[in-house]
Structure 1
Amino acid sequence: MKMINRVEDIISEIREDLIGLSRYILNNPELGYEEYKSSKKHIDILKKCGFNVEEKYMGMDTAFRAEYDSGKEGPTIAYLAEYDALPDIGHGCGHNLLGTVSTGSGIVLKKLLDNLSGKVLVIGTPAEETSGAKVRMVDGGAFDDVDIALMAHPSDFHEESGTSLALEAIQFTFRGKTAHAAASPEKGINALDAAINTFNNINALREHIRSDARVHGVIIEGGSAANIVPDLAICQFYVRATTKEYLIELSKKIKNCAKGASLAAGTELEITNYELSYDNMITNRALSKIYNERIKDMGVEYIKPFEESTGSLDMGNVSHVCPAIHPYFGIADREITGHTRELAKATDTELAYDSAMKAIGALVLTAIDIIENKNLLEEVKKEFENTKR
């Protein structure tokens, strides 16, 4: 109880600074890899609190890595901050508050670390909504020396860390030949036909894919005038599956749908990825159990059991290289849909800020449990080795 009280006292000391951070980012929404103001606000407060900060981390202008080392051997705890917004609706996913919770957790743990051991990191991870920086960071080895990775996401209600779908973002570019669509259509090669038949082929395939998989797409280029045979058509798809293995299998089938459509129309076909691919989220249950207990210690009476998610997170990639959790903290008294202006507005309330402070407390106490109890860390790591793919 003494540690809980100390954590709560530190949170109270920095509460107004954290609210200011979240509110500033809410009012200055920036898209992925354009979060110059947002990342600077995080960096400024972390420097002020004594962190060593590496800016433009791994070659990304709006990424950063903040570190504080106690000088005593112990685990490395990483809190991951997001701060990108959505087009048109701003912070409809609440990343203004999410990033604030991660930075706040890092600051609180840092203030306690000299009496503990180990190292705390706050890693600024741009562009979660699109081509997530965590993927590039994982590939670059950013988490190779991390013992546990933690973050908590705002939502309508408190919910345990769960799953997410692996994702591949596939673009099909069909190239044909223009011709007058009325006078000499036989001289043209219709790229739009290939794109439309790709959708038809995929819709026929839906009967034979797993019910927990998802395929959805749009045509972003399909011609400029009805009397010209389109010589260029481009469509983009998200392909999602519960595991990387099935994602690979399903993506191959989706690509074959486009190849067949291209062959029938007589077009040339180029297949590319228009965003980075995300791995499925593997929640470390041992680590999640600690967080669930600690969020209750912070005054949350009920946390919903996790549900199978049909969304995708670049935190999934992190979960394949180190133990990780991605729980949700409630910021509303009613159901609110994500990616809406309503959720963005809900991040700027006393209820939301109170909940965010509780999430910070739980994330810090979870880290302290891992630092102080080697058996817990061993349990977490044993589970990770048994579940990673």
Structure 2
Amino acid sequence: MREKVIKVIQEINDELIELNEYIYENPELGNKEYKSCKAHVDILREHGFDVEEKYLGIGTAFRATFDSGRSGPTIAYLSEYDALPMLGHGCGHNILGTTSTGAGIVLGKLISDIGGRVVVLGTPAEETDGAKVDMANRGTFDDIDVAMIAHPMDKHYRSGKSLAMEAIQFTFKGKSAHAAAYPEKGINALDAVINTFNNINALREHIRSDARVHGVIVEGGKAANIVPDLAIAQFYVRATSKKYLQELIVKIKNCAKGASLAAGTELEISNYEATYDNLVTNQILSKTYCNNLESMGVQNIYDRPDGGSLDTGNVSHVCPTIHPYFSISNNDIVAHTKEFADASVMPFAYEEMKKTIGALVLTAIDVINNKELLKKIKEEFEVTEK
């Protein structure tokens, strides 16, 4: 089967390179990936997929399905294609999406002989309002047996963990006044923001060492001689588990409430981006993928330090999921840079992309062919603490 997979990958390789470079040359921000989405949809349709565009009412999302017509598991590959402001594809979502869509096409060429179905999901705006959150909440993954996505990076890494994250905004409303002539008539909204930061800094002594709280002031007044009547702070609050994040959020909100009470302001609390759950890697599925990656010629697979947040985390709370990383450069490079974007269209990246597609497809074939393997994957999912 490995030889068949490699043969099909080679047959569509030029199409995948064309897809990747088109998206690289046309970077689009989250929820505005119209060209990128269409490029994925077009190639999937060319290879026999039934495609639902504007999936769930999301303008640049899609769901593409290839059904073998025979019973068997449903495998999902998750495609991303949003870019970064100023940097273009500094996170490499051009090659990420190409890898997932490529894996879907290859599996689609083989699935009629083994059963099941393959779904490729176009998931916009991972960098901000990750569409996977909405998809997970609205039942997209309820009929998916396993979900897989591989992200470009400096090396090949096993699927690990990510931090649960909530993007929380505090809007304080006070009362303006002349800061020198009538200070007693003003209510200083900026004081409430500053005290919120101070309260959170005091709280840090009493939170887990693996939690993270970091924020900025996005509105703090217009002139030094006017008491600020509006001040806004935004924070990312992160934790290793969804459960602890929820506990921590209550404390963070209390920091703002106390600051608002002290300053005499009104307080509005909202979320300015989607809330991401922590990634829960299915270890049996991950081991199967790594074994297949080694069979494709990758000798070194590393453990990646935990950090950052992913909307794939929300998927992993609904169905067995892995989110490994694959190398796109034989040099040390850092994500969210122009150098990283440029590496995603180099020959080295294409060779590693083919190996990664092979591993993703072979893993799906193992899951489809081996009922006992799928049973163990699902049993692990059911008992793993989220």
TM-score, scaled to structure 1: 0.98
Establish whether residue 251 from structure 1 lines up as the match of residue 281 from structure 2.
Answer: no
Q: Work out the CA distance in 2 between the residues paired with 1:46 and 1:147.
A: 21
1:26, 1:96 within 8 Å by CA — same for their partners in 2?
Answer: yes
SS of structure 1 residue aligned to 2:301: coil
SS of structure 2 residue aligned to 1:53: strand
SS of structure 2 residue aligned to 1:114: helix
Which of 62, 72, 80 does residue 82 from structure 1 map onto?
80
Which of 5, 20, 33 does residue 7 from structure 1 map onto?
5
Amino acid at match of 2:191: D
Counterpart for residue 226 of structure 1: 224
Counterpart for residue 360 of structure 1: 357
Q: Work out the CA distance in 2 between the residues paired with 1:340 and 1:246.
A: 32
Q: Work out the CA distance in 1 between the residues paired with 2:179 and 2:317.
A: 52
> Matched residues, percent identical?
67
Counterpart for residue 91 of structure 2: 93
Deviations 1:59-116 (A, max 9, x none): 1000000001000000000000000111111111110000000000000000001111
SS of structure 1 residue aligned to 2:158: coil
Which of 181, 184, 188 does residue 183 from structure 1 map onto?
181
Which of 21, 24, 31 does residue 23 from structure 1 map onto?
21
Amino acid at match of 1:139: N
Q: Work out the CA distance in 2 between the residues paired with 1:167 and 1:262.
A: 24
Q: Aligned ranges for residues 240-389 of structure 1 at < 5 Å?
A: 240-307=238-305, 309-389=306-386
1:223, 1:231 within 8 Å by CA — same for their partners in 2?
Answer: yes
Q: Work out the CA distance in 1 between the residues paired with 2:269 and 2:38.
A: 37
1:77, 1:119 within 8 Å by CA — same for their partners in 2?
Answer: yes
Q: Work out the CA distance in 1 between the residues paired with 2:310 and 2:215.
A: 18
Q: Work out the CA distance in 1 between the residues paired with 2:380 and 2:309.
A: 22
TM-score, scaled to structure 2: 0.99
Return the offset for 1:305. 2.4
Counterpart for residue 134 of structure 1: 132
Which of 108, 111, 121 does residue 110 from structure 1 map onto?
108
Q: Work out the CA distance in 2 between the residues paired with 1:112 and 1:374.
A: 18
1:53, 1:64 within 8 Å by CA — same for their partners in 2?
Answer: yes
Deviations 1:38-72 (A, max 9, x none): 00000000001110000000010000000010000
Q: Work out the CA distance in 2 between the residues paired with 1:274 and 1:234.
A: 11
Return the offset for 1:284. 0.3
Q: Work out the CA distance in 1 between the residues paired with 2:81 and 2:68.
A: 27
Moved more, 149-158 or 84-93: 84-93
Q: Work out the CA distance in 1 between the residues paired with 2:317 and 2:28.
A: 28
When the two chains are superposed, the root-mean-square deviation of aligned CA atoms in Å is 0.8
Q: Work out the CA distance in 2 between the residues paired with 1:388 and 1:31.
A: 34
Return the offset for 1:224. 1.2
Q: Work out the CA distance in 2 between the residues paired with 1:62 and 1:221.
A: 31
Unaligned runs of 5+ in 2: none
1:153, 1:327 within 8 Å by CA — same for their partners in 2?
Answer: yes
SS of structure 1 residue aligned to 2:318: coil
Q: How many residues align?
A: 386
1:157, 1:330 within 8 Å by CA — same for their partners in 2?
Answer: yes
Counterpart for residue 149 of structure 1: 147
Deviations 1:307-342 (A, max 9, x none): 3x1200010000011000000001111222211111
Q: Work out the CA distance in 1 between the residues paired with 2:330 and 2:136.
A: 36
